Structure 1
Amino acid sequence: MNQPEQMYNYHTWANQTILGRIKELPPSVLNQEVNSSFPTLAHALNHIYVVDKTWYLVLTGVDMREALQTCMPLNENILDSVDEYIHLFAQLSDQYNKWFQSQDDLGQTILLDNPYAGIRQTRLSEIVLQVVNHGTYHRGNISTMLRQLGHASVMNDYALFWYQEPAKV
């Protein structure tokens, strides 16, 4: 397994870990208002999903502007239950994993026309690491939001992920 794929597996694990923690809490916590980067945990989770989906489309050959147009309406699709987010993230993770299986060269570059930042040659591996980094950033937001709502978060650091994976001998 290559490093970008390993990092994506961490991203999937960390999402599942934080979702599992939220699932342990009363269902109302998902949509409880908080004064933070996002108005609710559901909004934060939805944002991670929408961005992950957008980058997935880019990785599969969709122009970034088209991927954004496709995914932007999903920003309004705030779900009512943690189980729905668990299902949504699992489906997208399956799509990413199938994509990884079809890739021979993550060093391959594409011309990325990012309407927010400009045009550049970008390696597929860089996009995968962007997905992981973005998710890590916003899981940090979610941890802070949980604390503001009076609940403990859960550790989801990459170093902990190392110990969650079966040892490869």
Structure 2
Amino acid sequence: MNDSIRLYDYHVWANKRVFNHLKELPSEIYRQQIKSVFASLEEVVVHLFKTDVVWLCAMSDKSYEEIQQLFGEYSNRLENKSLEEMEKEYMEFSNEYFDFLNNQEDLNANKTLKHPAFGQLETRLSELVQHVVNHGTYHRGNITAMLRQLGYPGPSTDYIFYLYEKQDGQ
């Protein structure tokens, strides 16, 4: 498996673990207000999803305007979704990512991004995948910290656990 695809697979695996963990806890904590980086666990989950949408759009050469339009559509579409509905939406969307990544001739190909505030960036698709995964890791950490504030343990989503699980064929 290509390193970038493996990293994205880890990202999906870790997010699945978060969904599964949250489903084991009392349902009301998903929307419970908390003083933290985000106002609720729901907000973090939605943020993670919408950010993944943005980056797939950017990797797919959509314009800033197209990305903003899709971001708005997803914002409306995901509003007030239950945890189970969010998981279903996310898993379906992750298949689009896998399709995109698997259909690339070269994930180390150069990519030019243009942003109205940040300017132009010369990068590679593989670096964008790494960014998506890194962003997800950061916010899964937020989820764990928020859960601890609410009196619950967080899920274990370290990359090494992914490697062990994949090695064992689970």
TM-score bin (small chain): over 0.9
TM-score, length-scaled by structure 1: 0.92
CA distance in 2, matches of 1:120, 1:66: 18
Shift of 1:118: 2.1
Count of matched residue pairs: 168
**What per-residue deviation string (whole Å, max 9, x for no partner) do you get for residues 93-119 of structure 1?**
100111122111011112101344321
CA distance in 1, matches of 2:75, 2:31: 15
Give, as a single letter, the amino acid of the residue that structure 1 aligns with 2:156.
M
Q: Which residue of 2 aligns with 1:124?
A: 125
Bigger shift: residues 80-89 or 29-38: 80-89
Q: Which residue of 2 aligns with 1:5?
A: 5
Secondary structure at the aligned position of 1:122 is classed as: strand
Q: Which residue of 1 aligns with 2:109?
A: 108
CA distance in 2, matches of 1:123, 1:109: 4
5 Å-filtered alignment, 1:24-103, equals: 24-72=24-72, 74-75=74-75, 77-103=78-104
Secondary structure at the aligned position of 2:69 is classed as: helix
CA distance in 1, matches of 2:105, 2:168: 25
Give the 3 Å change call, closer, same or farther, for CA 138–121 of structure 1 in structure 2.
Answer: same
Identity fraction in percent? 35
8 Å CA contact 1:64–1:112 kept in 2: the answer is: no
CA distance in 2, matches of 1:91, 1:20: 16
8 Å CA contact 1:50–1:72 kept in 2: the answer is: no
Secondary structure at the aligned position of 2:128 is classed as: helix
Shift of 1:60: 1.7
Give, as a single letter, the amino acid of the residue that structure 2 aligns with 1:143.
T
Q: Which residue of 2 aligns with 1:156?
A: 157
Q: Which consecutive residues of structure 1, in runs of 5 or more, have no partner in the other structure?
A: none
Q: Which consecutive residues of structure 2, in runs of 5 or more, have no partner in the other structure?
A: none
